[in-house]
């Protein structure tokens, strides 16, 4: 199934006309028609916006892609995770550099 077929299927499943979907997705109905017909290919951001306007999410393979980038966590939870990770990093460098000594050729 190509992108145009996916867009059409999602639109029809929701019972939306091209014009209705265009309003919801902030895209012209003629552009949507071109996508569905395969005359144009939407960029990733546009594809996501259109799919969201139909109430669908983008899934690649069998893994859902979190398009918000926050994993459903609040900013505070994300910050706590980053700080916990930072605590695991060494605070100071060792006073001497431990490295193997290679014999001269």
pLDDT digits (tens, 9 = 90+) for 25-44: 999 999 999 999 999 999 98
Q: Is residue 71 part of a domain?
A: no
| pLDDT band at 75; cut points 50, 70, 90 | confident
Choice between 81 and 40, residue whose per-residue pLDDT is larger? 40
pTM here is 0.57
Q: Which pLDDT value is given to residue 58?
A: 81
Is the distance from CB of 21 to CB of 56 less than 8 angstroms? no
Tokens 């259109």 sit at which residue?
50
**Mean pLDDT across the stretch 68-93?**
74
Q: Is residue 85 part of a domain?
A: no
Q: Which residues pair with 64 in a beta bridge?
A: 59
Q: Is residue 69 part of a domain?
A: no
- Domain housing 47: 3-64
DSSP secondary structure of 7-51: HHHHHHHTT--HHHHHHHHTS-HHHHHHHHHTSS---HHHHHHHH
Domain containing residue 60: CATH number:
1.10.260.40
Q: Is residue 9 part of a domain?
A: yes
Q: Is residue 79 part of a domain?
A: no
């Amino acid at each position: 199934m190509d992108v145009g077929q996916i867009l059409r299927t999602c639109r029809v499943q929701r019972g939306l006309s091209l014009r209705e979907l265009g309003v919801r997705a902030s895209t012209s109905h003629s552009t949507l028609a071109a996508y569905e017909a395969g005359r144009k290919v939407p960029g990733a951001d546009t594809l996501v916006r259109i799919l969201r306007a139909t109430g669908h999410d983008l899934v690649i393979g069998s893994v859902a892609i979190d398009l918000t980038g926050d994993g459903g966590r609040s900013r505070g939870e994300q910050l706590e995770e980053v700080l916990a990770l930072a605590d695991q990093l060494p605070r100071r460098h060792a006073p001497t550099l431990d490295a193997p000594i290679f014999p001269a050729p």
